[in-house]
Every structure is written in C-alpha cells, then in structure tokens.
Amino acid sequence: MEAVGYSLTQHPDMQLETLADDAIDIVCAAQQENGYLDTHYIINNLDNAFTNLRDAHELYCFGHLAEGAIAYYQATGKDKLLHTVERYADYIDSVFGSEEGKCKGYPGHEIAEMALAKLYEVTKNTKYLELGRFFIEERGKTPYYFDLEHKTTLKEGDTTQRYLYNQAHLPVRQQKEAVGHAVRGVYLYSGMADIARITGDEKLYQACETLWDNITEQKMYITGGIGGTNLGEAFSFNYDLPNDTAYAETCASIGLVFFARRMLEMKPDSKYGDVMERALFNGILSGMALDGKSFFYVNPLEVLPEASHKDERKFHVKPVRQKWFGCACCPPNLARLLSSIAAYAYTESEDTLFVHLYMGSKVDKKVKNETGSDSMVQIGIEANFPWEGKVTISLKSQEKTNFTLALRIPDWSRGFILSDMENEQQRMKDGYLYITKTWDKEESFVINFNMETSLIRANPLVREDFGKAAVVRGPLVYCLEEADNGKNLHLISIAEKPELKEITEEFLGQKPVIITGKGKRLKEESFEKVPLYFHEDQEIYEDVELKWIPYYLWANRGEGEMQVWTKK
C-alpha cells in the first residue's frame, strides 16, 4: 500500500488506485469496535491480542499499515485507511503507556516508532508522538517486559542473547553498540531519530549518532550491507564481517537508508549521505534481479555455490535470486524504497536545499527573492550516475533568488571541478559544498566528481579482508564472477600494478562500466594431483586479465562463484 501510494504520486494509474481502494475496503471492514485491527488474532482468538509482543509482529504490522495509509493519503487525498489507522492507534494508545494500569510493552520488531512519528506529523495529534516516544523510552528497562510476557516459557541462561536480539538489553540512550537483529536495529534507530528531530532532543540525537558511527565504522560491509551473522539475522561483534557467511539482508540496508535520511534531516553530514548512496547502489540494488522478478534476502560478498548447496552453515547464502520467500519482507521493501527514492535525494531547511543523491530529477523549493519575499525556484539535476561523475544543475525562477545550495561531496570522489562559481560563494562544511549566492532567473552550472577506479582496503581488524582489496568506482563496488574469471576465484590475486581500465560493454541489455585489470592465478598444475598437505614447493602462477562487474549486477547469469575482496 505504501509503495502504491508513492508510485501513484509519480505515475497516476486508475487501475492500480481502484485495486488499492478495494483492498482498503476489505482491510477496514475487519476493524473491531474498539479499533483493534490484526486479522491473525481477529480470526484466531482476540483474547490473545498483545500477549506476545516479542514474537508476534502485531505492532510491526500496525506500523506498516500506518505507513501505507499515510503514503496513500498523501498521494490520493483519500483518508479512509488513514482514519482506520488512527482508530487503531487510539486503541493501542489506550492499551500501552506510562500511565498506571497501562501495559509497559513495546514492539518486538520495531517500526511502529517511525510510523507513529509520521502519523503525528500528518495528523498533528501529539498522542501518537507520545506513544512512539513511550515505545522507545520503555525499551530495555528492567524488569524486561519480554520476560514478564514469557514468564512460563523462558529458560535460564539464554538471556543476554535474547535481550540483544531485540535491542532490549539496555535503555536506548545507553546503547553504544548496534546489536541484535539488524533490520529491527535500524528500524529502532530510525524511530529514535524521528523522535529526536521532532522533539529537538539533542541527547537522543547523540545516542543515534553513537549507534550510527558504530555501525558504519565497525559493522558495515563495503556494500552498505549490515548484519554479519545469519544467526538471528544479526549484527556480529565489531569488525566481524565474514564475506561468505554474511547476512547483509536487503531490508537491513534499506533500514540503514531510512536511518541515514533521518540523521540528514537533523544534521547534514556527508557521512550519512555517503552511506545512503553506498547502500542504495550496492547492497540494496543487489537484492533484485535485473528483470525485477527475483530477489535476494541475503547479500553475501563471496559465494561458492557448492558451499551454498552442501554446507548448512551457508544454506542462507543463495547463489541465485529466488522468486519469492516465505518471509517476503525484502521485495515490498524494495518497492517502497525505490518508488520514494526522490525523498532521499534532497532535504531542505528554510534557506538551503541539500542535494544528497545525484539523479535526474526536478525539485521545487520556496526561497527568498532579492527583496526578501517568498519565491519559488525549480532546481533540476541532470546526471548519469553511477557511470559518470558529471552533474549539471540548473535553476529556474520568475526572479532572481537568494539561497544556498548544499551539495554532498561523495567520500569516493578524490576531487571535483566546479564550473563558473566564485570562490567567495563556496564553503565546505561536514562534507557538503555550500554555495550561497544570488541566483539568476535561469542559471546552470556543472560539478564534475572524480570517478576514477580505485582499490580499497578494509581496516586490518576485519580479519576476512586482510591482505585483500576491493575495486570501486564512484559509488559502485565491483566483484569478480566465475562467468568472467573462471572457477576458484580464491586462487586469483590482483597484480602489483593492476593497470585498471574502464570499459563499457553490453551486459544483459545494460551498458555498465566494467573494470579490467591485471592479475595472477595459481595454475591448475599447482593443485591437481597435489596431496592434501605437502612440503612447501614452488607454486606456479599465470598472468590473467581480470574482469570486474558492478556488485549489484552479480548473479544475473546463472550460478557461479563471486567475490568482492580479492587477494593483493
């Protein structure tokens, strides 16, 4: 429903809208007198409503329902589902809260926090904001609500992991490390950021920033993937980022983008925009096949198909995308993100438009004209990201305007050239180039980011990547595939001087930039007929030409090995 709303904003479609209206009628008809609306419990046993917050996803479903209702309302002006959600939220508010007699629970799988903040912003009803805040502040208090709820079934001894899994081990303001289920984590942190922004809570912002820094400085794959372990689909410990058993769920990277967007709204710092872009172009896009019809839940950085088939520890790592999954969160999450991508490209303050992502787009902004009155300006961006670093920005208005355009200077760009701009109009701050000036009625300029191909190292504390390098170009991370480089990718190393070249090649109907370079590969005679263990001997290498494709394009040519990090 949420994706439908976003889609209708950009692409009106009566057939789709009618389908949505019919679905809304069905959903709303299920609502109970008191406002409750979760069909699983309505059908099975209403007495059990809200008795298993930890596992049963009731508040999670409420959150998605609310986000869908809001998007649909904003797209169409139709408020039937929105009112239904308000009634459900009112009921939830009557059940949960800090007041005596109310339940002190909070969502097992977070998202209601974000949804309630949004619902407040649409309805201006502070009750929803307070309920969202309650869910956030209550989390991690002792006695642990989830234990109270599961008193009779809990076993001794498994407490720590259980609390960590749910980010319920400590009150959120005291959490310094991102732990537990990665999607749940970033959904929680996104909700915290919403509340921090709306309420101007600087300390809560700092709690968010601490968690952000921990994720992005110690727990994130180079693809923007998060969740180093499949056990609990969770964050692992600092610097534990195994490539071949990664979880890096598509939804977790999407959640990271939610979190980034919210942090940017409070403080434009390119560290948020850089990660947003990294996740979008790599660990998220990889979640969907080129034809949009099959999906990855898990986005590994290294795949050996034999292991995926035979080694239970890697059964979660699929070598080809699947049509659909039992727990199909990723495909619709991709749909709602990609259909609302514009919302991630820009944020604004009164006198500044921030450009975080460079993509072909037009955006209108209310600014001041030369005399200080309101005026509208349309800012247009032309770019061919991620293939070219050149961005053309044009501005159009009825009169001269006075405002600031803040452009993110990507972390991957080692320099940029800005055309036709005077130095005194420019200022760098927190990774953004602020251009403050009086703009002509029609004006355009070009910023050209250095998008050269380069080799990246991971911090040596990432054990799995030590002695290896990854190829990147602009926002794209690249990988080797068996289809281009043969089997046993682990026997390949990048040459001392790899002489990386960029070539443009037809690739399944696309024209991506592909990277080639020099490497060496252990010759087969070095391991054929060699025993399992042997006295050190001369190994024989051959020179090979390596070919890297963008990571997001992997696994579109059938099953084969893949690796992002290559020995160097």
Q: How is 233-302 classified by DSSP, letter by letter?
A: TB--STT---SSS---BHHHHHHHHHHHHHHHHH---HHHHHHHHHIIIIIIGGGB-TTSS-B-SB--SE
Cβ distance to a copy of itself smaller for residue 453 or 516: 453
Other residues' Cβ atoms within 10 Å of the Cβ of residue 441: 12
Sequence-distant (6+) residues with CB within 8 A of 378 are: 362, 363, 364, 365, 395, 396, 397
Tokens for 374, please give them.
Answer: 């309101």
User: Measured from the CB of residue 155, what is the shortest distance to a copy of itself in angstroms?
Assistant: 14
On whether the CB atoms of residues 368 and 402 are closer than 8 A, the answer is yes
User: Measured from the CB of residue 223, what is the shortest distance to a copy of itself in angstroms?
Assistant: 10
Cβ distance to a copy of itself smaller for residue 307 or 562: 307
496 scored as a contact of a copy of itself (CB under 8 A): no
176 scored as a contact of a copy of itself (CB under 8 A): no
Cα–Cα distance between 141 and 181 in angstroms, integer?
Answer: 19
537 scored as a contact of a copy of itself (CB under 8 A): yes
User: Measured from the CB of residue 463, what is the shortest distance to a copy of itself in angstroms?
Assistant: 5
456 scored as a contact of a copy of itself (CB under 8 A): yes
Cβ distance to a copy of itself smaller for residue 125 or 454: 454
Tokens for 241, please give them.
Answer: 């980022």
Q: How many residues bind a copy of itself (CB under 8 A)?
A: 52
Biggest alpha carbon distance in the chain?
83
> Among residues 469, 479, 546, 549, which is the contact residue for a copy of itself, using CB under 8 A?
469
Which is catalytic among the residues 137, 177, 329, 559?
A: 329
Active site residue 329: yes
**Which residues in the 539-568 window bind a copy of itself by CB under 8 A?**
539, 567
> Among residues 167, 229, 282, 340, which is the contact residue for a copy of itself, using CB under 8 A?
229
**Which residues in the 505-534 window bind a copy of itself by CB under 8 A?**
522, 526-527, 530-534
User: Measured from the CB of residue 259, what is the shortest distance to a copy of itself in angstroms?
Assistant: 17
Give Cα 291 distance to the centre of its chain. Answer: 21
307 scored as a contact of a copy of itself (CB under 8 A): yes
Q: What is the DSSP letter of 325?
A: -
222 scored as a contact of a copy of itself (CB under 8 A): yes
Cα angle: 471, vertex 474, 480; to 5 degrees:
25
Cβ distance to a copy of itself smaller for residue 97 or 410: 410
226 scored as a contact of a copy of itself (CB under 8 A): no
| Residue 141 backbone class (left: φ over 0; alpha: ψ -120 to 50; beta: rest) | beta
Which is catalytic among the residues 2, 17, 58, 233?
A: 233
502 scored as a contact of a copy of itself (CB under 8 A): no
Cβ distance to a copy of itself smaller for residue 83 or 568: 568
Sequence-ordered strand ranges (E) for 337-425: 346-349, 352-355, 361-369, 374-383, 390-397, 401-408, 416-418
285 scored as a contact of a copy of itself (CB under 8 A): no
Helices (H), 150-246: 159-165, 182-199, 202-218
What 3-state DSSP class applies to 528? coil
Q: Name the residues annotated as catalytic.
A: 233, 329
Interface residues with a copy of itself (CB under 8 A) are 161, 216-218, 220, 222, 229-232, 236-237, 240, 245, 304, 306-307, 310-313, 414, 454-463, 466-467, 469-470, 488, 490-491, 522, 526-527, 530-537, 539, 567
